[in-house]
Amino acid sequence: MNLSNIEFERHSNPVDMIEFVAASNDWTFERSGEHEIAMTVEGHWTDYHVSFSWMEDCEALHIASAFDIKVPDFRVTEVMKLLSHVNGQVLMGHFDLWQQEHVIIFRQSLLLAGGAEPTNRQVEVLLSNALDSCEAYFQAFQFVVWSGMEAKSAIAAVMFETRGEA
């Protein structure tokens, strides 16, 4: 018996839960299709373009958060080095360079196999983790792309911890 052939009936579209959470929090969103919803979320450093997609074939709810930083061709190699450093520190999800648009995105998925339904809390944590990760590393990407800083120096600059009181 092949377990992947077992069919489960899904009672709702997981994107409906995202819409419910967004409406409950008065977030502006756009439902661009049955399986996708997009919103812009204001961060401390920039606005993040967030989209949730239901990937029916693998039963996963996917979140992608894009930065407003276009990576020029001559900085791609250094950005890739920075991605390696950053992804080594991120517990859930990962950053990627979306080659088609030359933008940096954070991606994470919530597996809902077997007919599992997402809860309000899972959706909020998924979004919160994405935004926290973006906020934590946005400046490092900015340093590499706009300031010409090396990846190692950029990650060191944003991970700098202050101690004591002034």
Extents of the domains making up the chain: 14-165
Q: What is the pLDDT of residues 66-96, one digit of tens each?
A: 988 899 999 999 999 999 999 999 999 999 9
Is the pLDDT confidence value at 11 over 70?
Answer: no
Phi-psi region of 138 (alpha: psi -120 to 50; beta: other; left: phi over 0): alpha
| Sole residue written with tokens 């196999």 | 113
CATH label, 14-165, candidates 3.40.50.920, 3.90.550.10, 3.30.1460.10, 3.40.50.620: 3.30.1460.10
Inter-residue contact 63 to 126 (CB < 8 Å) = yes
Q: In degrees rounded to 5, what are phi and psi of residue 148?
A: 75, 15
Cα–Cα distance for residue pair 149/68, rounded to 1 Å: 18
Inter-residue contact 62 to 107 (CB < 8 Å) = yes
Find all residues with CB under 8 Å of 38, minimum gap 6, and list them: 29, 30, 32, 49, 50, 51, 52
Strand order across the 60-70 sheet: 29-33, 36-42, 47-55, 60-70, 103-111, 94-98
- Under the banding of pLDDT at 50, 70 and 90, the label for residue 7 is low
Q: What is the number of other CB atoms lying within 10 angstroms of the CB of residue 136? A: 15
- pLDDT at position 14 is 85
Is the pLDDT confidence value at 64 over 80?
Answer: yes
Q: What is the pLDDT of residues 141-155, one digit of tens each?
A: 999 999 999 999 999
Find all residues with CB under 8 Å of 22, minimum gap 6, and list them: 29, 37, 39
- pLDDT at position 161 is 64
For the whole model, what pTM was predicted?
A: 0.84
| Sole residue written with tokens 């800083």 | 149
Percentage with pLDDT > 70 across the chain: 89
